[in-house]
Structure 1
């Protein structure tokens, strides 16, 4: 009988030895197949180049220089500093203005003076009975009368003195030296009459000549210079000059119509307003100015047809 060997597991027979051999060969074949399979995977991976998984930032090598970059400043809420303009700054010379007397600069929202006056008077007028001095130095004499509506509480002689002072000013119409003016008493022949009338009466008088003043503005009809009492006492809002300046404008403007002058426009923003501009309806960028002459010369604006 064949001899047997004893192990810790028991006796080993020939059959058992063959089985162990078969198992070793099987393991060897499996190892070979495993290695072959691993090679195929490696080859396939090299062919398709799959995207590698991201490397953690702490372990990723840096291709940047070893000098650390300056930190980016955190955004702030302040507005960015504007870039300098590519255009050079231009120094402009101030516009040249006449050197004669200039009315004050306009002020915003200048209120109308709080002066009480009647909206309507008695409709009758009192003319000044005393003559005035001759106004001007040369030319033919042109005569006028002055009348104030009754019931206005305005003294006719005071009003007449103001009219004389305005028309006799060296900046007024007599500066042309082509005529002189003189106020004459009641009943004396005259070219025109200057009336001071309440808003209601002045509106009615102007309407007889086809003019609609809405009881607000003054007007002129042939032989009649009609001054609105409300404007005489309070001027107009935002005129930017004293009431005395507006009074001089109103007299010179309406008498200018009597002398044959038409309406004119503001020549340029910031310039004095021509006396024949309708300053009561707005200065249109000009500055209040009450006189036909400026620096000894006739001051005009563009004619309005």
Structure 2
């Protein structure tokens, strides 16, 4: 698929190619791997109205605002196979993301043993993903707000080690994918750090996919199929396990229109690495 995005700045024009990305994931839960939709979020009429299939041909990515910021060296992220299975919840942020729709509160938590994460940058990245022009908050159905330790949250977005992923998500040995189970949106730190091979999009775009895919399950969305060769992959496709002719795409909306594929999933194997 073509990649577009032009960022114009006063006195200077620079072209920034924004990778149309997938950010990660796979079985939304051990149930979803066997063809069942993930455990449903609270049902609303807004969710029902969001089921129509739209297939725009030329998605326009949100501009990567980080491209205009000074680049600073980042510490390497390190992690063991299994962390402490205890979590540090990041401070909240009072800003509400989105202008209309149901308010969904969330926490961000990092498992002990994972080191090198810039926690402020992580929280900003998550909030920017939800607030992006093609993100979940853009359609008028949902608003998001990050809350801190000790506050009630509708879900917890968690960065966990591979073995802890299996403890939380269940379904046997995996250690590769991420999942959503109950009110936990579980992101595998191995995929966050390394992405997936031969994906065709940037690591930042894959991370956006991870967040949007697993959050989509929390919002009641099930897995979807590739609409056809050369088309953008729906964000609810298990892009971590295979694109099936589609091109990677990280977002639930395309040009302001909800972008869906036909419900279903492929019987792709889980890599053992």
Q: TM-score range by the shorter chain?
A: 0.5 to 0.7
Deviation of 1:157 (Å): 3.0
Shift of 1:196: 0.2
Q: 1:273·1:287 contact (CA, 8 Å) conserved in 2?
A: yes
1:204 aligns with 2:167: yes
Counterparts of 2:218 and 2:113, CA distance in 1: 27
Report the TM-score, using the length of structure 1 for normalisation.
0.61
How many residue pairs get matched? 197
Q: Larger Cα Rg: Structure 1 or Structure 2?
A: 1
Deviation at 1:212, TM superposition (A): 3.8
Give the structure with the larger helix fraction: 1
1:133-152 alpha-carbon deviations (Å, 9 max, x no partner): 21111123111111001111
CA distance in 1, matches of 2:108, 2:94: 10
- Listed as ranges, the gaps of 5+ residues in structure 1 are 1-95, 103-113
**Are 1:173 and 1:252, in contact at CA under 8 Å, matched by a contact in 2?**
yes
Following TM superposition, by how much is the alpha carbon of 1:131 offset from its aligned partner in structure 2, in angstroms?
A: 2.2
Structure number with higher relative contact order (C-alpha < 8 Å, ≥ 6 residues apart): 2
1:190 aligns with 2:150: no
Per the alignment, residue 146 of structure 1 pairs with: 108
Structure 2 counterparts to residues 111-130 of structure 1, below 5 A: 117-130=79-92
SS of equivalent residue, structure 2 residue 157:
strand
**Which residue of structure 2 aligns with residue 167 of structure 1?**
130
Which runs of structure 2 are paired with 1:80-159 in the superposition (5 Å)?
Answer: 97-101=57-61, 117-153=79-115, 154-159=117-122
Answer yes or no: is the 8 Å Cα contact 2:139–2:256 preserved in 1.
no
Secondary structure of the structure 2 residue equivalent to 1:281? coil
Q: Secondary structure at the match of 1:146?
A: strand
What pairs up with 1:198-277 in 2 under 5 angstroms? 198-207=161-170, 211-212=171-172, 214-277=174-237
Alpha-carbon displacement from aligned partner over 1:4-44 (angstroms, at most 9, x marks no partner): xxxxxxxxxxxxxxxxxxxxxxxxxxxxxxxxxxxxxxxxx
Render the CA deviation track for 1:265-284: whole Å, top value 9, x for unaligned: 00001110000000000111
What TM-score results when the alignment is normalised by the length of structure 2? Answer: 0.68
Indicate if the aligned counterparts of 2:226 and 2:243 stay in contact, CA closer than 8 A.
Answer: yes
Structure 2 unaligned blocks of 5 or more: 1-55, 63-75, 266-273
